[in-house]
Amino acid sequence: MHIFIDTADVAELDSLAETGLVDGVTTNPSLIAKAGKAILPTLKEICALVPGPVSGEVVAVNSADMLKEAEVLSALAPNIVIKLPLTMEGLKACKALSERGVKTNVTLCFSAVQALMAAKAGATFISPFIGRLDDNGQDGMGLIREIREIYDNYGFETQILAASIRTTGHVRDAALAGADCATIPPAIFKALYKHVLTDLGLEAFLKDWAATGQSIT
C-alpha cells in the first residue's frame, strides 16, 4: 500500500521525505490555511520534495471554473494531481480532465455508489473519508471493503486512497481491506514504526553489545 502524507507543512514534510517512504502528498484548503502560506508556491515546493503524486485541490464550485483552476495547478509540476469534490460539477470536471490524461483525486467520498460514479468519470484516485464516517457512527472501513469489491467486479482502475485516517489501526485495517493508498497525518506516519517491545528489545541488545567491548568499524 502506498503511503501519502496529508499536510501542507513543507518543513515537516521535508524531514519525512528523507525516509524514502513517502509515496505522495495530499493537501486541501484547510491544510493550506493552517500552514499560513500561499497555495501555489507551497504546492510547488511540495512537488519538488516528493516525486510521487501531489494532490492540489480546486476551490471552484462549477465545472468550468474547476477546469480553469486545474489548468493553473497542472502547470506547477508534472506530479500534480487535481483534487475535485464529489459533486455533479466535480465529476463533470473529472471526466473532462481524465479524457485529457490529467490525473485526478475525487475527494469527500462517503458511499460506495459515490465511488462508483467517480470511477466511471475516470478518477485516478477516490478518497473515502474513514474517520469522518466513524465519527458519525458509521463503518468507515466497511466502505473501503465495499469500494474494493465494486472496483474489482468491474475492473475499474481508480485507486482507493483511504483518507481521514485517525490511528495506526486505521492504516492497518485499510491495508487489510485492500486500499491502494492511505493518506495520513505526519504524527500517524511517525507512529507506524513504533512499538514498545521494539524499544525494549533494542535497549537490551545495545546493553549486551556494550558489555562485549567490541566494535564493528
Residues classed as catalytic: 83
Which amino acid does the sequence have at 38? A
C-alpha distances (whole Å) from 7 to each of 93, 112, 166, 180, 185 are 24, 26, 14, 19, 7
Residue 62 φ/ψ, nearest 5 degrees? -115, 155
Tell me whether strands 104-109 and 24-26 are parallel, antiparallel or unpaired: unpaired
Q: What is the C-alpha separation between 106 and 47, in angstroms, rounded?
A: 19
Residue 3: enclosing H or E segment and its boundaries? strand 2-6
Q: What value, to the nearest 5°, has the Cα angle with vertex 206 and ends 202 and 208?
A: 115
Residue 127 φ/ψ, nearest 5 degrees? -110, 90
Range list of H helices, 4-87: 10-17, 29-35, 39-49, 63-74
